[in-house]
Amino acid sequence: AQRVTQPEKLLSVFKGAPVELKCNYSYSGSPELFWYVQYSRQRLQLLLRHISRESIKGFTADLNKGETSFHLKKPFAQEEDSAMYYCALRAGTYKYIFGTGTRLKVLA
Amino acid sequence: EPEVTQTPSHQVTQMGQEVILRCVPISNHLYFYWYRQILGQKVEFLVSFYNNEISEKSEIFDDQFSVERPDGSNFTLKIRSTKLEDSAMYFCASSEVQDRWSPLHFGNGTRLTVT
C-alpha cells in the first residue's frame, strides 16, 4: 500500500528549541519524498525534496530507507516557522500522496 | 514570481447542483492536477492532466467529476451533481516538467461548501 503517515497533528516547541516533524512512508518502489509547507493564509509550497540534500530555512530531512522515514528537522526553531507541514510521496508518474500534516507552533 | 490562480476563493452551492472550479496554471507548465482537502483531513489526489487528457485519477474521481482545459490558459474541475461530502478545499497545482523532482506549484484553493 502507498501511504504517508505523520503521527503528530500538532507540535508545540519553544523558540530556539530543536524541532523534529515525523514522516513515515509505505511504498514498494524507490521513494521520492518531499516536504511542503503552508504558512497562515498562504498556499502550499515546496520546502525541500530528499534528492537535493539541501537545507532550506534551516530545515533538513534525511531519507532513511531502513526505517522508511523522512523526518524534518531544524536545530533551533523560529517563530516564523509556525505553519502546517506536509510530507509527500511521489507514488507514480503523475500522483503525489500527502500525509495528514503536522501543525508546528513555535512559542515565544 | 508566476503563480497558479484559482477562482472563486469560496463557492457555496446546494446539493445536486453543478459547480465548476477554475484554475489558471503557470503559463509554461504542462502538467496539471486537482487535489482536495476535507476539513481536518489530508490533502487527497484527485486527478492529473497532461496533453489534453487525464493521466491518472484516484478512486475519488468518479463519474461525477470531470476536468477540462477549454482554452490555452484555464483548467477546470466540474462536479456534476454535488453531494454534501464534496464540501472541501480544492487545490489546483501545476508543474513545469514531469521529471522526478519537479515540484508542484499550488493555487490558494477554492473552498466549496455544499448545503
| Stretch A56-67: mean pLDDT | 92
Interface test with A, best of B5, B23, B43, B61 (most A CBs within 10 A): B43
Contact call for B100 and A51, based on CB within 8 A: yes
Query: How far is the C-alpha of B5 from the C-alpha of A100, rounded, in Å?
Result: 24
Average pLDDT, chain B: 92
Of A72, A38, A13, A92, give the one whose Cα is nearest residue B109: A38
Average pLDDT, chain A: 92
pLDDT digits (tens, 9 = 90+) for A15-52: 999 999 999 999 988 888 999 999 988 889 999 988 77
pLDDT digits (tens, 9 = 90+) for B12-45: 999 999 999 999 999 889 899 999 999 888 899 9
Residues of A in contact with B58 (CB under 8 A): 95
Of B93, B69, B82, give the one whose Cα is nearest residue B5: B93
